[in-house]
């Protein structure tokens, strides 16, 4: 993505792209929690979904204008607006699903049985993880194990969101989901900026090493 945008927008490097990506998550470190509270206490699910959907549309529209007009600052603003709506509408959707299809009622499970089903994945992980570590040491091929492990990320969301419904009272689900989303966005925004800084620093180091090598060859 950085390469394509650098060709289209002058003066854009990987670090700026990563900062642009982090602008989606930065406001949601705080606003996702506020959005969850607003959904619970002010707007409700229906009005909240409509409001945040409009916010997403406005953010997308501004981003398109920023791309076609080659204004990177406008793209920063669009990512902020899009992030405000995008994460909050996700909270709204999750809150609606939990309230409408509360899985204890859906499958007629008791709280204990539902907790056992939810926790099974972590029990399996505690047993399987040492085995996988041993296999990696024996057979190597770490990159393939890493690729296979990426598929399990999807299982995290399948288990983490239902756990909110187990722990929190139904009238506070929106606020709880908002807090969860805030913590997630804190990690995302930090990682994006860190990746951009590392990629830029590594590129500078690589260019420095290459130039030193060329100078040595010339001297020789």
- 10 secondary structure, DSSP code: T
Distance CA 31, CA 55 (A): 13
Distance CA 182, CA 94 (A): 14
The reply to whether the predicted model has a pTM over 0.75 is no
- Cα 169 to the chain's mean position, in Å? 25
| Cβ 55 vs Cβ 6: under 8 Å | no
Distance CA 56, CA 66 (A): 15
- Per the model's pLDDT, the better-predicted residue between 49 and 189 turns out to be 49
Exposed / middle / buried, residue 58 (Cβ in 10 Å: 0-12, 13-18, 19+)? middle
Q: Where are the strands (E) in the chain, listed by range?
A: none
Q: Compute the half-sphere exposure of residue 212: CA atoms within 13 Å on the CB side of its CA.
A: 6
Task: Please compute the mean of the pLDDT values over residues 189-215 and round it to a whole number.
Answer: 57
Q: Model confidence over 138-168: pLDDT tens digits?
A: 776 666 666 666 556 555 666 666 666 667 7
Q: Model confidence over 90-107: pLDDT tens digits?
A: 777 767 666 655 555 556
Tokens representing 153 are 């990320």
Of the pLDDT bands very low, low, confident and very high (cuts 50, 70, 90), residue 2 is low
What is the percent of the chain with per-residue pLDDT over 90, rounded to a whole number?
Answer: 0
Distance CA 134, CA 46 (A): 50
């Amino acid at each position: 993505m950085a390469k394509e945008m650098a060709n289209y927008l002058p003066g854009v490097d990987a670090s700026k792209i990563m900062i642009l990506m982090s602008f989606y998550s930065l406001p949601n470190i705080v606003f996702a929690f506020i959005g969850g509270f607003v959904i619970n206490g002010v707007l409700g699910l229906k009005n909240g979904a409509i409001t945040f959907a409009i916010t997403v549309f406005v953010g997308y529209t501004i981003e398109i204008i920023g791309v076609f007009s080659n204004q990177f600052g406008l793209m920063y603003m669009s990512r902020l607006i899009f992030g405000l709506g995008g994460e909050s509408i996700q909270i709204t959707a999750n809150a609606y699903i939990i309230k409408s299809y509360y899985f204890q009622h859906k499958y007629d499970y008791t709280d204990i049985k539902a907790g056992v089903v939810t926790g099974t994945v972590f029990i399996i992980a505690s047993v399987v993880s040492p085995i996988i570590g041993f296999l990696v040491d024996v057979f190597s091929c770490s990159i393939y194990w890493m690729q296979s492990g990426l598929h399990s990320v999807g299982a995290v969301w399948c288990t983490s969101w239902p756990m909110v419904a187990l722990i929190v009272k139904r009238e506070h689900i929106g606020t709880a989901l908002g807090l969860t989303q805030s913590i997630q966005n804190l990690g995302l925004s930090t990682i994006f900026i860190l990746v951009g800084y590392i990629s830029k620093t590594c590129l500078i180091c690589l260019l420095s090493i290459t130039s030193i090598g060329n100078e040595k060859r010339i001297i020789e």
